[in-house]
Structure 1
C-alpha cells in the first residue's frame, strides 16, 4: 500500500505553534508576489533555499516579523492573497487564492498574518526526517505533502492501525494536525486523504476503488486541471466513472490520456520517488506596469542575482536560459537559448539581457511580469565555451563563488552590482 500524508492548514498550524493564542480563531496566512525584491530600501533578507517545493512556496525568504500594515498595505491599499487559512476562517467563506481585502470583507474578525516561510520549511524538514525513520521510502511531494511506500513493511490488514498511530505520533511530537490516506496507488491515496480531511485517516483497498471514485466529479482528481476538465466535458465525461468507460478516447490522446486513465483506475504503478532531480529552476515576478526599459533591465539583474545564488546551492551547470515577459494588455513574449558557458551571476545576466533585446517587440507597452529560468543541467563542470569569453567567464565564476560565501552568511542582498542601485 501507498500512503499520502497532508498537513492540515499547514502554514496556519505553524503559526499556532508560534502563538498558541491563535488556536480556534479564524486566521489566514497571506502572501504577496515579493513586494521587497526590487525595493531600494534595506531588506532583512534571510536566504534562498530549494529544500521544499509546492504551491505558494517561495525560494526567497525575508524576516517574518512584519506588521500587517508593513507587509500588506501599500499606497493605502490592502494587497496580497490568502495562501492558507484555518478551518474556522473557511467556515466564513475564506478560500485560498482570495484577495486579503475580500477575505476581510467576508470575515471581519479574520487575523491575517505575513508568511514565515523559513519556519514552515524547518518544520517540514524535521517531519521528513522523522518519516524516514518510520517508513522505508518517502517522497516529498510539496512543503506539506508526502508519499510513503509500505510494500513489504506493513500488511494491508494492518495499514489503518499503522497510519492512525503515525498520525497520533506526528501530532504529539510536532503539534501539527495531519490527514493520511492509503491505497494501492499514489493518486488514489491522495484522493483518500482529501476524503479523510480534516485530521482523519482513510484506507481504500483495491476491491473498493471503483465504488470510491465512480461518482466523484472529474475535477476532484489530482492532476485534472480546468483545461483538461473542459476538454473531457466536451465529450460528456462528467465523473470519474464516466472517464473509466472512455478508455478508447483517452488512448487516442496519447501519453497524457493514457497516464490519466491508469491513474484513475489505480493501476498506474507509479513508484514513490525519494529523490527527484530538478529539471529547471526559475523565478517569476508580477509587477506594477513598468515602461522604462532601463528599470526592466535593473529588475532582471536583481532576479539573475537571486537565481544564480539558487543554482549555486545545488552546484548545477545549466545550458539553457529562458526569459518570458508579459505586457500590460496581455501580450506575451518568450524565448530560450542553449549555449555552453561557465555559469555565474554575470554570465547569466548577459544571456538574459540579450534575450530581452531579442524578444521585446512591444516597446510602446509597459511590462507587468518577468520570468527567468535555467534548465538542461550538466553533471560536470563546463570546460568548453567561446574561446573569446572563456577566461573572462572563469574569472567571473571564481568571483561569484567568493561572493556567495558572504551572501550565504549575511544574506543575498549583502553584495549587489552597481546597476541595481537607482540613481
Structure 2
C-alpha cells in the first residue's frame, strides 16, 4: 500500500460538506429528505436571503444569496428554515472529530470544510480508499454528505473537491492540471473570484490556463503581491502545510449589518454603529484581544462599498472607544447618500497581556491618578505573591484551555 503514496510528496484531502446547513437539518429531521429546502433569514426583513439550500431546491433554480421572496416565487412549495447555529456547530465539531480518527493533521478552514494531510496514513489504505471510507461513514454515521478532493497540495485539493458535487471524489495531480484545470474560467479558481477576474480581462486572462502562462510582473502590477501567488497556484504550486492550529489564529474581528431600508437618518445610523461597536467589543473581550486599527465599511444604496480605516496609538477594546474612532471615520467619509449596510472591523489585534499604553495629552492624567494604586498592588504582590490582587487581567494559568477561533471561523464558537 505504501507504494501508492509519493516518496517525497504529500497527499492532501479537502473535505467539503455538501449544502451543510440544509444537510444538518435533514439529518435532524429525516422527513425533509428529498424535498426542496432552504435556510434563510427573517422573511419579513430585507436580509431574508437564502443562506444555503438543498440540491433539490437548486435543481429548481434556487441559489445562495437569492432573496427569499424570489425563491418562493420559483418554488411555492419551498420549505424554509431559519438558521440554527448551535445545531450546525455541533455537527461541525462531530465531523472534525471523526476526521481526526485518521490523522491529527486536520485543519478546519470553516464550519463545513477542512484539509487533511494523509501522507503517512498508508496503513489505512490507498488515498482513494480512505476518501471513500470517509465519505461513506460521514454519510452513514452523521447523515452528512460531502465531496472530497485528493491532490499533492491544498490548492489543488480544494479545486478538486469542487469538481464533483454532491458526493464526489476527485483526484487532481499536477500532471492533470492542463487538461482539468486550465480549461476553467479564471473566476472559478479558488482565491480569484469575479471581481479579480474582471481586473484580469483587460490583459486577456480569461481562463486559469491564461493565468498560468501570464507574465508574473504584469499580473503583480494589477493585483499586488497576491498576483504572484495566484500565478503560482494556477501552475499547481502550493507549499502551504496542513496546520491543525491555524484555526486558532485570527487577524481581525468585526461585524456588519444590512439596514432594514436605505437611509440617511443619522440618528438611526448612529444607533446601528453603537450596536456594532458593542458586538465587536464583546468579541474582542472574548478573544482576550485589543485592536490597533479600526475599519468602517459603508455600502450605499447603489451597492457601492467603501472601507476606511484608522491606525491608533493606544490599543482599545471598549465599545465607547471603538465607537469614537468609527464616528470620526463616518463624519469624514460619508458622502450623505443613502446607506444600505454598515460594518466595523478591528484589525492588527494584539493579546491583552502584551498590550501597552502610550502616555499622551489625553491619557496621562488618568494614568497618573491610578499610579498610587498600581504601586500598592505591586507592593502587595511582592510580599504575598502575584495572585493576591489582580488588575482585571487573567493569568495564563487561569485562561481556558479551549482555544479561540479566527473571525472567519468563530461561528464554531460564537453566534453570527
TM-score (norm 1): 0.76
Name the counterpart of 1:315.
288
Name the counterpart of 2:3.
none
Contact kept? 1:141, 1:147, Cα under 8 Å: yes
**In structure 2, C-alpha distance between the alignment counterparts of 1:100 and 1:117, rounded to whole Å:** 19
Report the CA distance between 1:300 and its aligned residue: 1.6
Q: Could you say what the CA RMSD is over the residues aligned between the two structures, in angstroms?
A: 3.0
Contact kept? 1:8, 1:178, Cα under 8 Å: yes
Name the counterpart of 1:94.
62
Q: After the TM superposition, which residues 251-266 of structure 1 pair with which residues of structure 2 at under 5 Å, given as runs?
A: 255-266=225-236
**In structure 1, C-alpha distance between the alignment counterparts of 2:393 and 2:325, rounded to whole Å:** 16
Larger Rg: 2
Decide which moves more: 191-200 or 228-237: 228-237
Name the counterpart of 1:269.
239
1:133 partner SS = coil
**In structure 2, C-alpha distance between the alignment counterparts of 1:177 and 1:273, rounded to whole Å:** 24
Name the counterpart of 2:122.
154
Name the counterpart of 2:365.
388
1:324 partner SS = strand
Decide which moves more: 367-376 or 331-340: 331-340
Distance 1:215 1:333, change over 3 A: closer
Distance 1:294 1:271, change over 3 A: same
* Deviations 1:32-58, CA, capped at 9 Å, x for gaps: xxxxxxxxxxxxxxxxxxxxxxxxxxx
**In structure 2, C-alpha distance between the alignment counterparts of 1:298 and 1:371, rounded to whole Å:** 13
Match of 1:172 among 131, 137, 140: 140
Q: After the TM superposition, which residues 84-163 of structure 1 pair with which residues of structure 2 at under 5 Å, given as runs?
A: 84-154=52-122, 158-163=126-131
Contact kept? 1:347, 1:393, Cα under 8 Å: no
In structure 2, runs of 5+ residues without a counterpart are 1-10, 374-390, 395-416
Distance 1:250 1:361, change over 3 A: closer
Report the CA distance between 1:93 and its aligned residue: 0.8
Distance 1:138 1:29, change over 3 A: same
Report the CA distance between 1:332 and its aligned residue: 4.7
Contact kept? 1:182, 1:189, Cα under 8 Å: yes
Contact kept? 2:316, 2:322, Cα under 8 Å: no
1:268 partner SS = coil
Contact kept? 2:102, 2:121, Cα under 8 Å: no
**In structure 2, C-alpha distance between the alignment counterparts of 1:250 and 1:291, rounded to whole Å:** 39
Report the CA distance between 1:150 and its aligned residue: 1.8
- In the comparison of the two structures, how many residue pairs are matched? 356
Match of 1:304 among 261, 274, 277: 277
Match of 1:284 among 238, 256, 263: 256
Distance 1:261 1:155, change over 3 A: farther
Distance 1:231 1:328, change over 3 A: closer
Name the counterpart of 1:375.
347
Contact kept? 1:333, 1:360, Cα under 8 Å: no
Distance 1:318 1:16, change over 3 A: same
Distance 1:208 1:332, change over 3 A: closer
Contact kept? 2:99, 2:134, Cα under 8 Å: no
Report the CA distance between 1:9 and its aligned residue: 0.8
2:314 partner SS = coil
Match of 2:206 among 229, 238, 249: 238
Structure 2 residue 319 is the aligned partner of structure 1 residue 345: yes
Q: After the TM superposition, which residues 163-242 of structure 1 pair with which residues of structure 2 at under 5 Å, given as runs?
A: 163-242=131-210
Contact kept? 2:16, 2:113, Cα under 8 Å: yes
Structure 2 residue 39 is the aligned partner of structure 1 residue 29: yes
2:243 partner SS = coil
